[in-house]
Chains A and B, each alone.
Chain A
Amino acid sequence: DSGVTQTPKHLITATGQRVTLRCSPRSGDLSVYWYQQSLDQGLQFLIQYYNGEERAKGNILERFSAQQFPDLHSELNLSSLELGDSALYFCASSEELNYGYTFGSGTRLTVV
């Protein structure tokens, strides 16, 4: 157990629907990062939050949004889902970069 908790582990939904992925960072970590990984692809950085505020944005679609709450957990909202959104979505957290990121186990999203 890495200490980063992601729920749900698996999600199957239809095109056009909206889903919410949840992440609880490791205790003490203020930064949360969201990544998308399609089949056999690399990691695509989506967005970072630090202590409740958006810190950096990557290749995040307008249909996607995220937030970090006062208790530091984060949610990634994916709407108007398309088949191409099927992927593994990882959350990572960090305290400081001397230790890198700690990744959660991911949410596997399948859009049918």
Chain B
Amino acid sequence: ELKVEQNPLFLSMQEGKNYTIYCNYSTTSDRLYWYRQDPGKSLESLFVLLSNGAVKQEGRLMASLDTKARLSTLHITAAVHDLSATYFCAVADSNYQLIWGAGTKLIIKP
């Protein structure tokens, strides 16, 4: 059974700092997704990573996938307040279902 673990679950950081959110998963998969959710709002797709070594960047966010290590990272560069949100990773299992991490609540303080 595929399990997805995110850490940290909560992160409070200062503007201008860099940090990384980790997403580990337990069995083989080559499809990983990152989503953002603002409080009380819907989930917005950020990145779709479909192969080993995939790296995608959008603004101050960069996501990467290492299928051998079963690890994805979401790196935040020079954080700004607008990036405060909850970030979820999800991994596709063998039945093409998405298995979700618990989410990382990110608070960026001025």
B42 A100 Cβ-Cβ under 8 A: no
For residue A43, CB closer than 8 A to chain B, the reply is yes
Please name all residues of chain B whose beta carbon is closer than 8 Å to the beta carbon of A90 when the two chains form the complex: 42-43
Number of interface residues, chain A, beta carbon within 8 A: 20
A102 in contact with B97 (CB, 8 Å): no
Q: In whole angstroms, what is the CA distance A97 to B35 when docked?
A: 14
Contact (Cβ within 8 A) A103 B42: yes
Q: A42-B103, A90-B42, A103-B43 are in contact. Are A56 and B98 (CB under 8 A)?
A: no
Interface size class of B (residues with CB under 8 A): 20 to 34
A59 to chain B, nearest CB (A): 12
Tell me which of A43, A45, A104, A108 contacts B88 (CB under 8 A): A43
- Is the Cβ of B48 less than 8 Å from the Cβ of A99? yes
- A56 B88 Cβ-Cβ under 8 A: no
B89 to chain A, nearest CB (A): 11
Please state if A97 and B43 are interface contacts (CB–CB under 8 Å): no
Nearest residue, chain A, Cβ from B100: A43
